[in-house]
Amino acid sequence: MGTKPLSGIRVLDLTNVLAGPYCCYQLALMGAEVIKVERPGTGDLARQLGADPDRNAALMGVSFLAQNAQKKSVTLNMKTEQGKALLRRLVRTSDVLVENFRPGVMARLGLEYDALRCENPNLIYCAISGFGQDGPWKDNPAYDQIVQGVSGVMSVTGDDSSAPLRVGYPLADTVGGMTAAFAISTALNDPERGGFLDISMTEAVISSMGWVVSNHLIAGQQPAAHGNENTTSAPSGTFACADGPINVAANRDEQWQSMAQHLGRGDLLAHPDYATREDRKRNRHMLRAELEDVLRRRPAADWVEELNALGVPAGPVLTVPQILREPQVRNRGLVAEVETPDGVLALTGSPLRFGAFRPVPETAPPALGADNDQIWSDLGLSADEIETLRQEHVI
């Protein structure tokens, strides 16, 4: 691919931790120049987070590395008048600004959208927050854990004995960040460039729960936690085999019929408890027991191969290390290696592919303030002025 889709777009990334940085990482992978604007001395809190204490101490924590490659880093104290003036100058040269402060923080600094659009009428200003820029919860602190709870996700995760249960990764941050990246990309395509984007992580997560929400709003169904069962059909869910579980989604009648015949349980097809889709859904736990009696006799891999060959969707239940080793993922280039002063980093690239081209990071996550000299000198500051700002802790 010659030119990446967002080449020539400059994004100011004022965000911290995950939702905002993940959003801006997606934009960077698509070719945007992303300038991460960080607090002098400490920077993004994620620089101190992750499973490697030595990296945390060096302000290059694994949590930071995960979604900050392909970016530049400058430091700026936006509480100072000089810092505010420098941000305004940066805004004049930029297309997008992304922040994930609590609503009202940027206004108290005099750097809210209405103030900054005076510097650049075409600025796309994206504010990511837990609940949105208005409403009774707008001032409440919101982290992924909080949003998972209030959005209803935890209430439908797990089963009767374990719900409410947190999803095992920062779902709300990630969905919120991807929603913001989608919104920004859309706004960049608007012929009348410029505007304010209000991204609520809670609303992004609720939107992603489409079937659960619609079943409640339209069909009056009370959402509940069903564990590994897919309640829209049966047999559809996770089934025990001799050496571990598999997932099966025999959602169509012909798939159910093929599965029953292959397992030597054609007798179930004539059983009145399993005659129709609704019958099978109603009696899904009895049906599971009948099928697992056969599935437990052989390894999961055998059943996956044989059922898929019959057109019955089936798949193994893998760990994260296992799926990363699978040729299906490894050979498609989702994970790329980036050279750093401390060695090679393995990082995930974009989940999108343009034909055979997948955007992956080409430069390592930046050290704190690594691009101060270049970015500030490009704005017209002299080396002496930059050094003075550094001594005064403005940058």
CA angle 324, 326, 332 (to 5 degrees): 80
**Which of 250, 233, 248, 239 lies closest to 288, judged by CA?**
239
Strand partners, 98: 13, 126
CB burial string 278-293: b at 16+ within 10 A, e below: eebbebbeebbebbbe
> 19 is written with which tokens?
């939702």
What is d(CA 34, CA 28) in angstroms, rounded to the nearest whole number? 6
Active site residue 173: yes
Cα–Cα distance between 46 and 48 in angstroms, integer? 5
* Cis before 53? omega within 30: no
> Which of 302, 307, 256, 318 is CA-nearest to residue 281?
256
The total number of residues written for the chain in this structure = 395
CA separation for the pair 213, 161 (Å, rounded) = 23
Tokens 């905002």 appear where?
A: 20
Amino acid at 50: G
List the catalytic residue out of 173, 190, 253, 378: 173
Closest CA to 184 of 14, 27, 17: 27
CA triple 165-169-174, angle to 5 deg: 120
Instruction: Report which of 173, 163, 288, 156 is spatially closest to residue 215, judged by C-alpha positions.
Output: 156
Whole-number CA gyration radius for the chain: 25
Residues 6+ apart with CB under 8 A from 107: none
Is the Cβ–Cβ distance between 179 and 204 less than 8 Å? yes
Tell me which residues are annotated as active site.
173
